[in-house]
Amino acid sequence: MTESGVLLAVVVICALAFDYINGFHDTANAIATCVSTRAITPKLAITMAAAFNLIGALYSTGVAQTIAKDIVSAVILTPQVLIAALLGAITWNLITWYYGIPSSSSHAIIGGLVGSAAVKAGFSVLHWQGLAKIIAALIFSPIIGIILGLIIMKTILFIFGRFSPTKVNSGFRKMQILSAALLSFNHGSNDAQKTMGIITMALIAGGVQASTNLTPQLWVKVTCAVAMAAGTAAGGWKIIRTMGGKIFKLEPINGFAADLSSSIVIWVATAFPGLHLPVSTTHVVSGSIMGVGCAKRISAVRWGVAQQMLITWLVTIPTTALVAAAIYLIITWFSRLLSLL
């Protein structure tokens, strides 16, 4: 195998590793509410989430094309740039997973791409208009999640408020299984496409795929879908505990409202014509849970935990950009050292 072939293989391996970690890092998004309310057993919840993540990952490719064309100029994309970006994102995901902090894999990979590309060729290679659109989606989607979660929860309370809480929660405990499956599907349809976009960028940079064709190849779609489903099946219990109970004490009716509002936001960002935007499912679900909690009363939300999460969200892109930049410099230095030997 040629050197370029080896480097391309390394990019694919790193991308699938990121996808796998994304799966167990973000499992909590889809199942934390139904597990915390005991609507479904943890083992069955993870199995269901893995299956629907797989189906969702094969659903469309619009977000993958956005990642491939709207962040960095294809001219400077080398395997080294992509490897550094992926390793930076993986490092951040593992750190936040270890400490049980919900953070955005979307922010992490975008920060990684920005950092590694900028250190190679300067900030002029960044597509600022595309980045602005993506970052705006990442910022506003959790805010929309808060508002929609509040509206949906208030609507449900208006409709079912006169019924017995025990009877209502019993019914919504069953409905939560459907809402969690829907959220798992939408999580897969948005998150797995980010990795598809990275691999597509690598194939174009390596001359394996035409630069005019941004659609991920079938084998890319399948391997990314399987990697995310496998990661989802591994579970992410530390983050599940944070999402499921530390933000707001959830009951089945709250869990259903949070899942439904999250699914709507993610689906619109993924599939609505003209958008195809990568959003953070972690941020959207967290925002929806906060909105649902506010429908009960503002003090019901544990804002201290929310503040910790907000700080993590704010530092993710700059931190992963710095880590990816450092990794790129290390890779470059090591390559030069080998060439001298």
The predicted-structure confidence for 262-313, as pLDDT tens digits, reads as follows 999 999 999 888 888 989 888 898 889 889 989 888 777 777 766 776 787 7
Percent of the chain scored above 70 by pLDDT? Answer: 92
pLDDT score for 325 = 96
Instruction: Write down the mean pLDDT value for the chain.
Output: 86
The separation between CA 201 and the C-alpha centre of its own chain, rounded to angstroms, equals: 19
pLDDT score for 59 = 81
The three-point CA angle 163-169-174 to 5° equals: 125
Cα(303)–Cα(310) distance, integer angstroms: 10
pLDDT score for 32 = 74
Sign for the pseudo-dihedral over CA of 64, 67, 69, 75: negative
**Mean pLDDT on 131-141:** 89
Of the candidates 168, 194, 43, 182, the one whose C-alpha atom is nearest the C-alpha of residue 109 is: 194
Assign 242 a pLDDT band (cuts: 50, 70, 90): low
Domain ranges across the chain: 3-334
